[in-house]
A and B are shown apart, each in its own frame.
Chain A
Amino acid sequence: MDFQTSVFYFLSAILVFAGLRVITARNPVHAALHLILAFFTCGGIWALLQAEFLAIAIILVYVGAVMVLFLFVVMMLDINIDRIRQGFWNYLPLGALLGLLMALEMSLVLGSKYFQIPAADALVSSGVSNTKSIGALMFTDYVYPFELASLILLVGMIAAIVLTYRGPKKSKYTNPNQQVFIKAKDRVRVLQMPVEKD
């Protein structure tokens, strides 16, 4: 077993362990932390495949931003584990069905060689950096799907804002612009008074 293969198995073992802990940990914060570990290890495996842009992007986007906000929310939740486990047996058939479907999809992708579906060859061109080739593809061959994805994200963002918007605030507020541009002479009046004598 060469060095690369052993690194791959090492990272995969961590990834599988972290993934299992995400669904088995009783403490939601621990589960979120294991999810972060899973993303990080996933980045490591991608780096092993020489996809350094994707590896760094998953760490930058998921570990650096998404999971911070996720952890932020999870920390403030007051979760009663027993209440969540109540409907376990009722939901099990649906969950099992979805799980089977996902396993089937994965096996189709991974076993494409076996099913004689032509798999796209991974092109590792030397000289051109990963980032550049992804950028070129994104803005030439895949420009419409890419723009569509960004539109879907925009719609999602607006929808989230609309769902949580509770109308204009009725409270009094201060205008920071006016606060910044305030002058001392608007606030303080200096009076000249003659000295009183008795």
Chain B
Amino acid sequence: MDALMNFGTGIFGGAWPAVWTLIKIVLIVAPMMLGVAYLTYFERKVIGYMQVRIGPNRVGPWGLIQPIADGLKLLLKEIIVPSGSNKGIFLIAPMLAIAPALAAWAVVPFTDSLVLANIDASLLYIMAITSMGVYGIILSGWASNSKYAFLGAMRSAAQMVSYEISMGFSLICVLMVSNSLNLVEIVNVQDHGRFAEWGMSFLSWNWLPLFPMFLVYLISGVAETNRAPFDVAEGESEIVAGFHVEYSGMAFAVFFLAEYANMILVSALTSIMFLGGWLSPVGFLPDGILWLFAKMSAILFLFLWFRATFPRYRYDQLMRLGWKVFVPICLIWLVVVGVWMMSPLNIWK
């Protein structure tokens, strides 16, 4: 590592820290894009088997080249800009959708040393950055100048704003028990406790004492990423394809990438905040990045499973779940955790 640093300083001089950061960004974004591509493949396979079909199996062995073929096809297609649209905003909207999904990875830790920016307020940063993902959707709907796209944008704006509240409340519970806003610290705190001393660290992770919050966060995460059963923003049987109905080619693909990148992000955050991140579930196995990937894959599988299982929520049911069920649960559990931490039974000392 030192040799690499010396080599870099030799070539780039004072600009080396910036170049090194760029290299690290590429090292995070490139595997994630590959992950997005293969998540789409995995989704089609999983849903295929759940519906007693085979899924893609033509391109390459077991259809493994299919996502690459799809990507190439989308790259070569023409991007059509509708004549009545607001051109500048129409083209900027997909970028606004994907930029927050990528920017949030800056503070996501993979192990306690493997993190691009280990900042103190990383949880706040994540909340702020992910809350901006909605602009891409709203602006695309408005700029398309199409009724269906506009309806999809309106629905998604209302949905994302309401589920952000319960998401934020569940994160407040996490930061109360960890006494920190730093994601690395949040994971390290989960390594302490009675069960961790007995070698059963998975019982001292946050999901058990904060179980209702874990569920609320997971479900709000599904809603926040506009995935089925909360995909009213797309709702292809009601409003064609919702906000991206006018988009074609790569502009559409960028929306697609943003949705899947957000899914991976939410699964990473759930693993870090509730499932102990890179911590090993049992005492006799070492901690490591592979545990984080295993936990993320399990949650991603849940996303696909939900899509294959549940019918779409009706709009009023969606609002009821967010405002009348999740927000009260969060408020109650916030008080419960506060009282718990002040009582002699406090387990987070």
Given A53-B121, A130-B121, A131-B181, A36–B135 Cβ distance below 8 Å?
yes
**A140 CB to nearest B CB, Å:** 18
**A74 CB to nearest B CB, Å:** 9
* Docked-complex contact A59 and B132, CB < 8 angstroms: yes
Instruction: Judge whether A63 is part of the interface by a CB distance below 8 angstroms.
Output: yes
How many residues in A have their beta carbons less than 8 Å from beta carbons of B? 22
Given A72-B157, A129-B181, A60–B120 Cβ distance below 8 Å?
no
**B41 CB to nearest A CB, Å:** 33
**B158 CB to nearest A CB, Å:** 8
* Docked-complex contact B131 and A65, CB < 8 angstroms: yes
Instruction: Judge whether A69 is part of the interface by a CB distance below 8 angstroms.
Output: yes
Contact with B along A42-56 (1 / 0, CB 8 A): 000000000011001
Contact with A along B104-129 (1 / 0, CB 8 A): 00000000000000011100110111
* Docked-complex contact B161 and A131, CB < 8 angstroms: no
* Docked-complex contact B128 and A68, CB < 8 angstroms: no
Which residues of A sit under 8 angstroms from B121, Cβ to Cβ? 52-53, 56, 129-131
**B247 CB to nearest A CB, Å:** 18
* Docked-complex contact B128 and A72, CB < 8 angstroms: no
* Docked-complex contact B317 and A29, CB < 8 angstroms: no
Give the interface residue-count category, chain B. Answer: 20 to 34
Contact with A along B145-183 (1 / 0, CB 8 A): 000001001100110110010000000000000000100
Instruction: Judge whether A194 is part of the interface by a CB distance below 8 angstroms.
Output: no
Which residues of B sit under 8 angstroms from A65, Cβ to Cβ? 131, 161, 164
In the bound complex, CA of A75 to CA of B153 (Å): 10
In the bound complex, CA of A176 to CA of B86 (Å): 40
Which residues of A sit under 8 angstroms from B86, Cβ to Cβ? 29
Instruction: Judge whether B320 is part of the interface by a CB distance below 8 angstroms.
Output: yes
In the bound complex, CA of A52 to CA of B181 (Å): 12
**B108 CB to nearest A CB, Å:** 16
Contact with A along B245-285 (1 / 0, CB 8 A): 00000000000000000000000000000000000000000
Which residues of A sit under 8 angstroms from B150, Cβ to Cβ? 75
Instruction: Judge whether A64 is part of the interface by a CB distance below 8 angstroms.
Output: yes
* Docked-complex contact B128 and A59, CB < 8 angstroms: yes
* Docked-complex contact B135 and A68, CB < 8 angstroms: yes
Partner of B127, one of A33, A60, A75: A60
Instruction: Judge whether A14 is part of the interface by a CB distance below 8 angstroms.
Output: no
Instruction: Judge whether B303 is part of the interface by a CB distance below 8 angstroms.
Output: no
Which residues of A sit under 8 angstroms from B120, Cβ to Cβ? 52, 129-131
Partner of A56, one of B128, B134, B135: B128
Which residues of B sit under 8 angstroms from A69, Cβ to Cβ? 157, 161
Given A53-B121, A60-B131, A64-B128, A71–B138 Cβ distance below 8 Å?
yes
* Docked-complex contact B181 and A63, CB < 8 angstroms: no
In the bound complex, CA of A170 to CA of B168 (Å): 35
Q: Which of chain B's residues has its CB closest to A129's CB?
A: B120
* Docked-complex contact B154 and A72, CB < 8 angstroms: yes
* Docked-complex contact B320 and A176, CB < 8 angstroms: yes
The interface centre, meaning the residue of A59, A63, A64, A65 with most chain B CB atoms within 10 A of its CB, is: A64
Given A68-B138, A68-B157, A72-B154, A63–B131 Cβ distance below 8 Å?
yes
Which residues of A sit under 8 angstroms from B138, Cβ to Cβ? 68, 71-72, 75
Given A52-B121, A56-B124, A57-B124, 12 other A-B contacts at CB below 8 A?
A52-B119, A56-B127, A59-B129, A59-B132, A63-B128, A65-B161, A65-B164, A72-B138, A72-B154, A72-B157, A129-B121, A129-B181
Residues of B within 8 A of A (CB): 86, 89, 119-121, 124-125, 127-129, 131-132, 134-135, 138-139, 142, 150, 153-154, 157-158, 160-161, 164, 181, 316-317, 320
Residues of A within 8 A of B (CB): 29, 33, 36, 52-53, 56-57, 59-60, 63-65, 68-69, 71-72, 75-76, 129-131, 176
Q: Can you list 19 A-B contacts (CB < 8 A)? A: A52-B120, A53-B121, A53-B124, A56-B127, A56-B128, A59-B129, A59-B131, A64-B127, A64-B128, A68-B160, A69-B161, A71-B138, A72-B157, A75-B138, A75-B150, A129-B181, A130-B121, A131-B120, A131-B181
4 nearest interchain CB pairs? A64-B131, A60-B128, A59-B128, A56-B124
